[in-house]
Structure formats: C-alpha cells, structure tokens
Structure 1
Amino acid sequence: MSAQSERPSPLVFRRRLLGREPLLGTFIKTPTGHAMEIFGDVGFDFAVIDAEHAPFDRAAIDVTLMAARAAGIAGLVRVAEPSPAQLLAALDDGAAGVLVPHVSTAEAARAAVSACRYRGGRRGFSNSPRAGRYGGLAMWPHVDAQDASVAVIAMIEDPEALDVLDAILATDGLDAVFIGRADLTVALGAASPDAPEVRNAVDRILAAARAADKPVCLMVASAEEARSYTAHGASAFMIGSDQGLMRQAAAKHHKDFAALKGAAGG
C-alpha cells in the first residue's frame, strides 16, 4: 500500500488541522506540478504553494493545485498579498486553504476570513472552477462544501501583531496561526531565530493560541524540533521547501563525491 493511499483525503485537511492531528508539510517554490506530486507520493499531508516569495502566477498556481489533487495531498496557497482577489483565485482553483501573510491586526484577520467564506463572509460566488467541480456541485452544496473544508491560516510574523494577539485569535472563522519566525527575526533585528527575543515572541504566540484554542503551524528543522513544540500546542509542521530540500540533498552528494575524488587523486 502506498503512502498516498494511507493518508486521509485532502478534503478533510481542515478537519485534521482543527483536530490537532500531527501534520507534515513543506513549501513549494518551483512553479510546476512535479514537486507537488513528489511530496504527495511520499506521503506529506500538505504543501503550500509560495506565491509570496516564488514566481507563481495564476496559471502556475492552477496547474500545481491540479497536481495536488492528482497526488492526494492538500495543496494550500500562501498568497502574495491578502487581497480578496488573490484569496478568491486560490480557493476557486481548488486550494485546501490559504496562508495569509502579515496579519498584524484583528481587522486584517477579519478581512481575510470574510474573503474566504461564503456564509457570513464576502467570497465571490462561482461553482464553475475546480473548487465547484466545474459546475458539478450545485450552488448551495458548493457553498457548504467550501465553507466546511477551506482552512484560513493567519501568519503572525510582525512585532506589532504581538500586542493584539488575543484580538486576532478571537476572529471567528480563523482556523489557525502560522508563526513566522524568520520574519520576526528580521523585524526584531535578532541574531537568529533562536535568539531570546524571538523565542519570547514565539512563546507569546503559542500561549495566546492555547488560550484561544487555535491550532499552530510553524517551520521546523527536524522531527526532534517539532516534538519540542508539540509540548507547547503546535501540531502542524513544515520542513523546508522543494528547493531547500533539493539543495540539501545535492550538497550532501557533492560533498561525498568530492571526498571520493580527493581520495582517488591522492
């Protein structure tokens, strides 16, 4: 039995996230479907198309989300900006959810949720794209299916967000938060993501999320690091990216073969 067949359907990703199941994901930065298919075949639970920091246009996002469907992995999109148009495009193309960058106010959190929800929100309706099975779902079944399955995740990555965490996390319809340690590190002028001021910020976010009963996602370097954050309430973890993992593997092989060539030359 393959890893793909053992993994639950991507359609229940939001339910798994809200249920605090341990989830493994990564970022996709190469604008083709191939990397998404590979992570799906390996058995990752989700992968996030990085439209904020990688060269994804609408067509590339659409193709990569199609690959996610084919590979049985939940495909999410980190939008370039939290505009209603970009959020709508990602969801209509069939994203299982969105990562909303730089949510630093409760107003920004409410606006993002509103753009992603039909009932109680302002998401523009169409059941003709992939999300509505190209018209295969009638109006209200499509509305109910999308509102039930789409995950809205706010990225907390700005120092100003730390002062309004409770208000952000109290946003109705916001499913989870992603702790952006890299952006916090740069914004705080810290030496590294392990610096005391960054650790303090992360601890504040984790504590606020526990109080609000919201799931937490963050980047980690290893399963060991993930275990340390699990004890503090985090349940969804991202390991690098397609490009980063490829570079690590390539660098290792290059180093191994350099040693072999050196030995042969000696």
Structure 2
Amino acid sequence: MSSGSDSKPGFRQRFCGGDHLVGTFIKTPATHPVEIIGGVGFDFVIIDEEHAPWDRVTIDAALLAARASGTAGLVRVAEPTPSKILSVLDDGATGVLVPHVSSPAKAREVAAACRYRGGKRGFSNTTRAGRFGAVGMWDHVAAADRDVTLIAMIEDPEALDEIDAIVATEGLDGVFVGRGDLSVALQASGMDAPEIVGACEKIIAAAKGVNKPVAMMVANADEARRFRAMGVSAFIVSSDQGFMRQAALKAYSDIAAVGAR
C-alpha cells in the first residue's frame, strides 16, 4: 500500500472496480519468488502465512520485494485477528486475505482492524506503510483508508447462511470463495460437486447484490472463463511452488525421455 498519491489507479481501486486481475500464492518464505512473479506481470501476489512457514521478518522482506517488482503484495493472514492484520498492514501490505470470515460479527471485526476512520486500526506512521515517519499522521490515515484492500474468505458452511449480511459489511471490499475448505467441510466429492457449485453461485450473487467483487482460485484458463462468466473478476492461479513443480516435472520428463529411446 502506497502512502503517496499515484496517477494510475491503485490495486484497491482496480479490484473494487471489477478489473480482470491475475495473482498467485507465494508459499516459499523468500523474496526471489515474489520478484520473479512480479516481473512476469502478475497483478498481485498473496503471501500465504496461513499455510506456509512465513513469519513477521520474512513477510516484511517479501512485501518490499513486491514493491520492487511492481506487483501488489497481499497477505493471507494466519488468523482472522486484529493483531495479525495490523502487523502486515504496518509492514506495507496492499491488503489482506482473511480466512474463515464466517459471520457478520467477524466481518465487522476484521473490517474495523483494517480501517482508521470508522474502525479500530492501531496507529503508527513510523512503519513502511507510513514511510517510516515521512508521512504525517492524517495523510497516512487518509492513504491507508483509501488504499488498504480487505478480502474475506468465505469457506465455512455457516457463512453461507449469512452471506448477504457478510458481504454487505462496510469496509469489506470483496470476497474470496474458498472452494477447497467448503468441499472438505461439506464432504463433497470434489470442487465441482453440485453443492459446491451452488455455494459459489450463492456467494457470487450476494456479492453482485452489493456491487462487490469476487476472487476465485482457478486451475486453468477454461475454469477462469467459466467463473468470469458467473461474475468473478480476480483470479488466483497456483503458487510459486506449484509453478516450480510443474516446470520441474516437465523438464525432468522431457530429458528423462531422451534416455528411454
């Protein structure tokens, strides 16, 4: 998140405006994957604190790498708590992906943690977010409230019962449909099972009803086209580790096949 004013729209403005955005998860706690993926042209990366071995120091460095490579650096925080959210926002995260937002009360809590005015975010401008004190108090507050992106993960069955109230929460910018967690929780046969497709349709419809964007993880372009037609605008594909495995598997298979001839 930049505390200055840029002439081009920032990530939050693009996300909330429904721009077609492409991102990926970063699982390896190092700066290089962020730099490489940012250099390719990805619109955003999501540092995955929830499911990978990130800590405060490595997240801090990765967010600097995101800035250096010109990609938006978001963090999927390990827990949906104000302290986790505050730490990564102070480190300069463009925004947060918050897991298990399963009720309107939780949505309000995490929204408050992201906002100064009308919220409860702890103040400090002596962080990267405040350019280490170079930005004055109220300029920093204004920039943070303008630019920080909050995306709630809808991945619990109980969230489906209150989805309209969750997505309508003030300060919540959009939602991510967690098909994997929903599939496990509902004991579905797979992420394309009828009950999961129905859950996706319900979440997307609720978000459309309040003009908020939806993010989705997709396996390929065909899946992206299908969900784009349903109203999804932000797409997350694979991860740095997934890309590495895919490329390594192809390289190994290609060269190993030479010896089999």
- Deviation of 1:62 after TM superposition, in Å, equals 0.2
Distance across 2 between alignment mates of 1:249 and 1:106: 42
Distance across 1 between alignment mates of 2:215 and 2:8: 17
CA-to-aligned-CA distance 1:136-184 (integer Å, 9 cap, x gap): 1000000000000000000000111000000101100100000001111
- Please report the TM-score for the alignment, with normalisation by the length of structure 2: 0.96
> What CA RMSD, in Å, does the superposition of the two structures yield over aligned residues?
1.3
For residue 142 of structure 1, the aligned residue among 140, 144, 148 is 140
**Residue 60 of structure 2 is aligned to residue 62 of structure 1:** yes
Aligned CA distance change for structure 1 residues 196 and 37 (closer, same or farther; 3 Å)? same
- Deviation of 1:252 after TM superposition, in Å, equals 1.3
Distance across 1 between alignment mates of 2:214 and 2:154: 10
Aligned CA distance change for structure 1 residues 97 and 250 (closer, same or farther; 3 Å)? same
The corresponding residue for 2:248 is 250
Distance across 2 between alignment mates of 1:11 and 1:240: 26
The corresponding residue for 2:165 is 167
Q: Which consecutive aligned stretches of 4+ in structure 1 deviate over 4 angstroms post-superposition?
A: 8-11
CA-to-aligned-CA distance 1:164-213 (integer Å, 9 cap, x gap): 00010110010000000111111111121111111111111111111121
CA-to-aligned-CA distance 1:68-108 (integer Å, 9 cap, x gap): 01111000000000111110001000000000000000000
**Residue 227 of structure 2 is aligned to residue 216 of structure 1:** no
Distance across 2 between alignment mates of 1:152 and 1:114: 10
Q: Which 10-residue stretch deviates more, 43-52 or 223-232?
A: 223-232
Q: How does 1:26-175 map to 2 (within 5 A)?
A: 26-175=24-173
- Deviation of 1:10 after TM superposition, in Å, equals 9.3
List alignment gaps of at least 5 residues for structure 1.
1-7
- Please report the TM-score for the alignment, with normalisation by the length of structure 1: 0.94
Aligned CA distance change for structure 1 residues 49 and 65 (closer, same or farther; 3 Å)? same
SS at match of 2:12: helix
Percentage of matched positions with identical amino acids: 60
- Deviation of 1:258 after TM superposition, in Å, equals 2.1
Letter of the structure 1 residue corresponding to residue 163 of structure 2: L
- 8 Å CA contact retained: 1:115, 1:121: yes
List alignment gaps of at least 5 residues for structure 2.
1-5
Letter of the structure 2 residue corresponding to residue 146 of structure 1: A
- 8 Å CA contact retained: 1:77, 1:99: yes
Distance across 2 between alignment mates of 1:48 and 1:246: 16
Letter of the structure 1 residue corresponding to residue 178 of structure 2: G
Q: Which 10-residue stretch deviates more, 153-162 or 194-203?
A: 194-203
